[in-house]
């Protein structure tokens, strides 16, 4: 009787451990041919431990300074394919939130010294405001 019980326990143990050692299923990702419309990055110099997303393309001179509760310049005209960077040089947090019809994700909260970059591929006018201070407004005109 002890043999049967020991044998049964051994089989159950082997079955349990065998089930735990199977490799995880491989996830197949479908190839995509669509070109993304926008590429954005957020960088920080205040907290290096925070992961950042960066682009390999150089940022053009198209920089908008966030300071004194305003975007400077409030309107910027760029060519299609240019990268625009917003740099928070204010003493409080800000963000860059595009109008809903643009379908562009917001920058997220930008602490002082943080920046946000976006490449604009499509022509048009892209209006934005600060999520924390809605009276702050600006636009990027892409030609």
**Rounded Cα distance, 43 and 7, in Å:** 61
| Residue 76 is assigned to a structural domain of this protein | yes
| Residue 19 is assigned to a structural domain of this protein | no
Within 8 A by CB and 6+ apart from 45, the residues are: 113, 114
**Rounded Cα distance, 77 and 139, in Å:** 9
| Residue 60 is assigned to a structural domain of this protein | yes
Q: Which of 134, 127, 108 is nearest to 53 (CA)?
A: 108
Give Cα 61 to chain centroid, integer Å. 22
| Mean per-residue pLDDT, 20-34 | 42
* Mean pLDDT of the residues in the chain: 75
**Rounded Cα distance, 99 and 127, in Å:** 6
Its domain, for residue 93, covers 38-142
Cβ atoms of 48 and 88 closer than 8 Å? no
Structurally, the chain folds into a number of domains equal to 1
Is the predicted pLDDT of residue 24 greater than 80, yes or no? no
How many H-runs (helices) and E-runs (strands) does the chain carry? 1, 9
User: For the domain that residue 79 is a member of, what is the CATH number?
Assistant: 2.60.40.420
Q: For residue range 76-131, list pLDDT tens digits in order.
A: 999 999 999 999 999 999 999 999 888 899 999 999 999 999 999 999 999 999 99
Is the predicted pLDDT of residue 33 greater than 80, yes or no? no
DSSP H helical ranges for the chain: 2-20
Q: Does pTM surpass 0.75?
A: no
| Residue 6 is assigned to a structural domain of this protein | no
Is the predicted pLDDT of residue 53 greater than 90, yes or no? no
Lookup result for tokens 């800000």: 94
């Amino acid at each position: 009787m002890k043999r049967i019980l020991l044998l049964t326990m051994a089989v159950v143990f082997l079955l349990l451990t065998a089930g735990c050692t199977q490799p995880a299923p491989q996830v197949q990702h479908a190839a995509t041919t669509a070109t993304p419309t926008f590429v954005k990055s957020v960088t920080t110099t205040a907290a290096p431990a925070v992961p950042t997303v960066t682009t390999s393309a150089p940022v053009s001179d198209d920089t908008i300074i966030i300071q004194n509760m305003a975007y400077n310049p409030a309107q910027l005209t760029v060519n299609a394919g240019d990268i625009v960077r917003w740099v928070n040089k204010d003493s409080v947090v800000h963000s860059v939130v595009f109008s809903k019809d643009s379908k562009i994700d917001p920058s997220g909260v930008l602490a002082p010294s943080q920046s946000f970059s976006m490449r604009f591929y499509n022509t048009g006018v892209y209006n934005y405001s600060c999520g924390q201070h809605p009276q702050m407004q600006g636009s990027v005109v892409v030609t």
